[in-house]
Chains A and B, each alone.
Chain A
Amino acid sequence: MASNKKTFDAAIVGAGIVGAACAVALAREGLKVLILDSSSAASGTTAAGMGHIVAMDDSPAQLALTHYSQKLWRRLAPELPASCEYENCGTIWVAANADEMSEVHRKKAVYDENGITAHVLDAQALLDAEPNLAKHLSGGLLVDSDAVVYQLAATRYLLLKAVKQGAEYRQFNSVASLSDDGVGLPSGERISAGTTINAAGAHAGDLSPSLEIRPRKGHLVITDRYPGFVRHQLVELGYLKSAHGSDASSVAFNVQPRKTGQILLGSSRQFNSNDDAVDNAILNRMAARGFEYMPALKEMSAVRVWTGFRPATPDNLPYIGKVTGFKNIYAAAGHEGLGITMSLGTAELLADEIMGRESPIPRQPYSPGRSAASS
């Protein structure tokens, strides 16, 4: 790569949190980086997300990347400006019944094995930790290391950091095609680059059709300020079923305390909806789910509602690495509901691959070639 004849060593398509993180990692390697976005930074799915930095154990590969990324976030935290609102608030996975309590114990064992500190809470301990939860819940699992971040400010911070390291950022610049020589613009103009990175999120498949990415719509609600009402990110244990089931639509209880005292309420998942309008039916289901776990939410003032599209892949793992059939095109896309968490780890794995190094965790599970190989 890094051919002298090219204008850039690396052209990154997409200035979401994933593209921005990749730009920092590649610029740090001394590469001459260009980052392009058809809109402005962090205005795609990144704008719509929740900013929960979470170790998630749906599969060993998912846990490996989320856990690795979380450590990178913790390392980055001291340099993040206050606007990023990074807060190590921890997560409580809430168990609604005895069945889910046994899931708490299973999960705890997995986290223990991986060196992630987690504490089992019984019903009383759960209420002590979160007095505003419904009284009928069975308990939960508190994971200390999880955090929240205002991902929009973090993306901007990463982008500016990359620019300080010499990267060039062009917003409102659409890319029409990718090739082994660089990127093509709608005008027909070509920008040559030794390596091209497709970080176009839910739209990555438009540029690299071999990437199987489907938009998965989600809704979020933000309230007025209620400081102290919620202390940890709270997620129902059934969340994984919702996140990774293949149902056309599902909802799960998921609330996040913001530093401002506001509360974010999620979450919903829908395939087959490409319209960003608020869908009242699913919004009502989502709110109703929230009220089951936290009845006082009902009376709170909702200030805004919005939707976003998670870039979902068939096996719920992102595509990181060389795109099948190309020499110089790499993917960093398809992070579904974990792209904010995984952004930092993704950038390191990608930089390692481009620089021809080993990575701290195996890269193969995220290789774009895996789906071709398995099907």
Chain B
Amino acid sequence: MSAFVTLDGVDHAYAGAGSALAVEGLSIAVEQGEFAAVVGPSGCGKSTLMKLATGLQFPRSGSVTVAGAQVKASVKIAGMAFQAPTLLPWRTTLENLMLPLEIVEPYRSEMRRRRAEFRERAEKLLASVGLSGQGNKFPWELSGGMQQRASLCRALIHQPQLLMLDEPFGALDAFTREELWCVIRDLQAASKITVILVTHDLREAVFLADRVFVMSSRPGRIVVERKIDLPRPRDLEVTFTPAFTDIVHELRGHIVKARQ
């Protein structure tokens, strides 16, 4: 059986960047229901990996498969969230959550008929990340952490099988960030959704992931793959145990090497 998300020997260069490759010989396989984290130096092609796996970019050579099919168009079974929450300021939080449903089928054509049901789903999702009753506020009335929670909800509203997170907590303070780690941890435990998390925070990667992939500097490829066998459910306390810090140290060593 093949993995849920597979990149195999992928080279990619952006149009306009000449022949300079962003990633070269990139291979990664993420199993269904797995929580994968990708770390690497800045500019190494982590976001490019995300775009390749969701069909926003297509490889120059090599193959990308998601859920058993070659990626030829945008992958509609994926939800995405980024460092910036990118909520629309003219929509309430709840209306922001509904945006993907207005785009993606089959919800799009059922929007008119099932609006009430969708609203209820959005409200439930908000409640699950600790935002119950905040749906009628505008994004700019929410704190940064709350906006990022709402952004996560927007990524999940169409019940995707794959969640792509590109440095989603990078702009938050340390306390809020750790709160959101727990939010993501619980969401993933409850839904068993496949997650690919890009981050530059090694503690974040080790705390959340089943496997951590380390990328080389540009052109990026995977240089180390590290299984994290800390028992689940993991509590924030685990981040202070020697086992945890040992893994973080080990990964740090790989990153330092990757940057050279």
Q: Do A and B come from one complex?
A: no
